[in-house]
Structure 1
Amino acid sequence: MFDYFESEDTVDSIDSMQNSGGLYLPDAAECMRCGLCVSQCPTYHLFQTYEESPRGRVRTLDKILLNDPAIDADELTHLNNCLQCLACETVCPSQVAYGRLFDEAQARLSEGLKLSILARLAFTVIEIKNLRRALLPLIRVYIRTGLQSLIRRSGILDRLNLAAADDLATVPELTKLEAYYPTQLPRQGKVGLFTGCLTEHFDRASLNAAITLLNGIGYDVIVPSEQTCCGAIHQHNGQQAKAQLFADQNQLVFNGLEVDAVVFTATGCGAMLNEYAQDDQAGLLFQSRLFDINDFLLQHWPEQQVMKPADLTVAVHEPCSQRNVLKNQAAVYDLLEKIPGLSVQALPDNHLCCGSAGSYMLTHPANANRLKALKLDSIAQAKPDVVVSANFGCALHLNAGLSEASVKVVHPLMLLANQLALSQQ
């Protein structure tokens, strides 16, 4: 998460909080003390302390949401160390809505408090599409000309707290996607493609693979330029009003399309899209047509479709957003079975977050890199030819820790699209 406070002294300015508005939060005495959430928590795995466990954080949420005294700096630090992977939710016998409670607490904490300069800049870049596009050529020049190496050696990135962001920098695609990609096959239908705020320019290969596959099973693809960020970064960092504006805009844009479905390729975005409110006609219509592309392809895959065989060992990384929120990780394995010859296996310790977690890899790089190192050890243990992950952020984070000679992490759609294209030659 983005760091909200310019200094720890501002913690003392947090006013007493009101009732949690109907969200269920158990009293500490209600905890079953089963320990299931503790064993699943990545930060507890790193630090082995009660304060870095879901149970410890529930006590802090209790203070924030149920009108207890203001939290102190240590409690805030432990709370913000949470990756929001929601592994705790999946095993909680009491079914505590930890993610919703956490978002509500962040919204309370952010009221009237000053954002850091970096946080304000990050939010602005996400919010203003034209600003992002204006920065793309500069990023490309920065990486391609050797300026990046010079700046890294200067040490200025560490002083500005930008080293983590620089480690993730990749060369962006400058051109826009076309608005319409018609299939050349007998048309089965039409879908809208959600691209979000970053993948159109930083994960173009996955989006191109999605278009290839959708066209390849008979679907036209529409990419509306008016769509915007899914809102996840804002939602999980206390900026819920802005997140709602993103939700309203995306619902307006995609509900206005004459399509059979709206599909997304990044599970992090998909988890947020699935959380859009369904309390009106706009929300109900949007949700009724929303699909993870893996699910959509599986449901509409032609029985007669032939794929080129591939003699590869594939390890499947299951992003937290897919495993713990969408809960459709099985779709990836089922899709990969469409390719003859593949040996597909789950990456060891898939239950443990890789450390990406939206903006977490930028705001908590030390923790994120420790978790990444564990995941890279799992990759080395599995010895695959390729690793697949259905989340752009996870792939970006993990690839930043792999050498050029190592196995790479790609979207499963890229394997499928490649074998489909080879079968048609």
Structure 2
Amino acid sequence: MKTEFSLAQLADPDIAVADKILRACVHCGFCTATCPTYVLLGDELDSPRGRIYLIKEMLEKDKPPTAEVVKHIDRCLSCLACMTTCPSGVHYMHLVDQARVRIEKDYSRPLTERALRAVLGLVLPRPNLFRASMIMARLARPFAALLPAPKAAATPSLLRRIKAMLALAPKGLPAPGPSGGSVFPAIGEKRGRVALLQGCAQQVLAPRINQAAINLLTRHGIEVVLVRDEQCCGALTHHLGQDGDALARARANIKVWKKEAEQGGLDAILITASGCGTVIKDYGFMLREDREYAAAAAQISALAKDITEFLSGIALAPTTQKGDVTIAYHSACSLQHGQKITGLPKELLSKNGFVVKDVPESHLCCGSAGTYNILQPDIASRLRDRKVANIATVKPDMIAAGNIGCMVQIAGGTSVPVVHTIELLDWATGGPKPGSLTGLN
């Protein structure tokens, strides 16, 4: 794709990156077939290729984005299926991230829209606030049915979004898990030491996931530390275009993780929420122009691993006879497209005694995508229903996923238990059998 940035524009490191990405695009359109919004809506501007044209024009003209541009960028899930499909290696993620920052900076959204996004950016990354909001939402949930049905519109109304938020609120919340600063020693011979990301929403909705990881790791000789003063990874605000907040959180995490690595040693920083993992692995890029943090950010990104990546290097010892338990494996977009981890989770499950089934249209997003199922509830609901229908065709006993957002989203449309991959692996190696979805629906 030909670009027409001025030399002055190209002096901006972000524009230089955008120029390189845009020039890699050859207009082939392969991305359209795997883009969830294009598959649903059939609008070229709701495809990666269409959005690339919109972003190119916005950046080249260096003018505030129009409402039309914002609508189509907002509809992007950042599922990154287009990056898996693209034969030219177009790094769409960095391009759409830059567009979101530009929109947040230069576009004046309606007051209700700004307020909602500000609240999401404030509450979701803070576990205490998020817990309080879930309790309040749970109390308000019975009244959701009394709200009038919102009218269909290209942009979901505030009322529609409120109903979506209330629908996602759990019926109950589990007790909090262990706090930052906790250390879990290896059982038997110590073979390694790792930090485990505590997360924000996950530690409120499903602390059992990290508990399963701790149990499995310590059982296999790995010491686990929950680093004190760790923050949200920044993914949620990063995808809202609130990059000041996201980068501040990245710097804070780099500082405490680096300190922990220097004091006690770390073989890896393990992540059980793949949406977080994709962003943490991108810290090196996000802070590439920060003289103080660039080198450390690259080191932290190199240490970051999805839990299944780390476990693939450990000889797990199955102890439980599970019979023929059929698992439908849902491959989270942030794992398969963002981190290019596709086979490992399924291999681990198969090797440890589970019957693993691929889900048809596994490349398509379930509609969770961070805050997407709140901000774009109509599209998100259609994607969830499509995903659940595809899962049903394999008749699973359980559904496994590696991301809390996907788990909550899918659980909202099915009665089949949705569990984390690590819970199944913990069960296979001596842990408890994953049961209901307490706290998830």
Does the TM-score normalized on the shorter chain lie above 0.5?
yes
1:371 match? 383
CA RMSD of the aligned region, Å?
2.6
Q: For residue 112 of structure 1, report the CA deviation from its aligned partner.
A: 5.1
Q: For residue 79 of structure 1, report the CA deviation from its aligned partner.
A: 2.0
Q: For residue 140 of structure 1, report the CA deviation from its aligned partner.
A: 4.0
Alpha-carbon distance in 2 for matches of 1:266, 1:246: 17
1:267 match? 274
User: Which of 221, 236, 242 pairs up with 1:218?
Assistant: 221
Alpha-carbon distance in 2 for matches of 1:312, 1:262: 31
Are the structure 2 counterparts of residues 417 and 157 from structure 1 closer, same or farther at C-alpha, using a change threshold of 3 Å?
Answer: farther
Q: How does 1:77-92 map to 2 (within 5 A)?
A: 77-92=71-86
1:125–1:131 Cα contact (<8 Å) kept: yes
Q: How does 1:159-308 map to 2 (within 5 A)?
A: 160=159, 161-170=161-170, 171-178=172-179, 179-257=182-260, 258=264, 259-277=266-284, 279=288, 280-302=294-316, 306-308=319-321
- The residue type paired with residue 416 of structure 1 is L
2:212–2:423 Cα contact (<8 Å) kept: yes
Alpha-carbon distance in 2 for matches of 1:263, 1:28: 33
* Per-residue Cα deviation, 1:96-131 (whole angstroms, up to 9, x for no partner): 221111111111122255561111111111354543
1:34 match? 28
1:151 aligns with 2:143: yes
Q: For residue 142 of structure 1, report the CA deviation from its aligned partner.
A: 5.9
1:40–1:351 Cα contact (<8 Å) kept: yes
Are the structure 2 counterparts of residues 24 and 127 from structure 1 closer, same or farther at C-alpha, using a change threshold of 3 Å?
Answer: closer
1:310–1:339 Cα contact (<8 Å) kept: no
2:372 match? 360
Q: How does 1:90-129 map to 2 (within 5 A)?
A: 90-111=84-105, 113=107, 116-129=114-127
Partner SS state of residue 322, structure 1: helix
User: Which of 6, 9, 21 pairs up with 2:15?
Assistant: 21
1:87–1:351 Cα contact (<8 Å) kept: yes
Q: For residue 422 of structure 1, report the CA deviation from its aligned partner.
A: 5.8
66-75 or 389-398, larger mean C-alpha shift = 66-75
2:3 match? none
Are the structure 2 counterparts of residues 236 and 381 from structure 1 closer, same or farther at C-alpha, using a change threshold of 3 Å?
Answer: same
- The residue type paired with residue 315 of structure 1 is A
2:176–2:207 Cα contact (<8 Å) kept: no
Alpha-carbon distance in 2 for matches of 1:232, 1:226: 17
Alpha-carbon distance in 2 for matches of 1:275, 1:157: 41
1:177–1:200 Cα contact (<8 Å) kept: no
TM-score (norm 2): 0.83
User: Which of 31, 35, 56 pairs up with 1:62?
Assistant: 56
2:340 match? 327
233-242 or 42-51, larger mean C-alpha shift = 233-242
- The residue type paired with residue 81 of structure 1 is R
2:281–2:302 Cα contact (<8 Å) kept: no
1:349 aligns with 2:343: no
1:417 aligns with 2:418: no
2:177–2:207 Cα contact (<8 Å) kept: no
2:21–2:90 Cα contact (<8 Å) kept: no
1:60–1:71 Cα contact (<8 Å) kept: no
Partner SS state of residue 249, structure 2: helix
Alpha-carbon distance in 2 for matches of 1:313, 1:256: 43
2:329–2:358 Cα contact (<8 Å) kept: yes
Partner SS state of residue 336, structure 1: helix
Alpha-carbon distance in 1 for matches of 2:185, 2:428: 20
1:400 aligns with 2:412: yes
- The residue type paired with residue 408 of structure 1 is P
207-216 or 69-78, larger mean C-alpha shift = 69-78
Are the structure 2 counterparts of residues 366 and 235 from structure 1 closer, same or farther at C-alpha, using a change threshold of 3 Å?
Answer: same
* Per-residue Cα deviation, 1:57-76 (whole angstroms, up to 9, x for no partner): 11110122112655432232
Alpha-carbon distance in 2 for matches of 1:55, 1:142: 38
1:13 match? none
* Per-residue Cα deviation, 1:331-359 (whole angstroms, up to 9, x for no partner): 1011102323x221211111111111111
Alpha-carbon distance in 2 for matches of 1:130, 1:63: 41
1:318 match? 331
1:215–1:221 Cα contact (<8 Å) kept: yes
Alpha-carbon distance in 1 for matches of 2:41, 2:137: 37
Can you give the 5+ residue segments of structure 2 that lack an aligned partner in the other structure? 1-7, 151-157, 289-293, 434-441
2:278–2:335 Cα contact (<8 Å) kept: yes
User: For this pair of structures, how many residues does the alignment match?
Assistant: 397
Partner SS state of residue 192, structure 1: strand
Alpha-carbon distance in 1 for matches of 2:212, 2:206: 10
Alpha-carbon distance in 1 for matches of 2:401, 2:421: 6
Identity value in percent: 31
Partner SS state of residue 327, structure 2: strand
Q: For residue 184 of structure 1, report the CA deviation from its aligned partner.
A: 2.6
Q: How does 1:373-392 map to 2 (within 5 A)?
A: 373-392=385-404
Q: For residue 301 of structure 1, report the CA deviation from its aligned partner.
A: 2.3
- The residue type paired with residue 79 of structure 2 is C
Q: For residue 242 of structure 1, report the CA deviation from its aligned partner.
A: 1.3
Q: For residue 216 of structure 1, report the CA deviation from its aligned partner.
A: 1.4
Partner SS state of residue 337, structure 1: helix
254-263 or 64-73, larger mean C-alpha shift = 64-73
Partner SS state of residue 388, structure 1: strand
Q: For residue 24 of structure 1, report the CA deviation from its aligned partner.
A: 4.1
Partner SS state of residue 421, structure 1: coil
Are the structure 2 counterparts of residues 78 and 285 from structure 1 closer, same or farther at C-alpha, using a change threshold of 3 Å?
Answer: closer
Partner SS state of residue 299, structure 1: coil
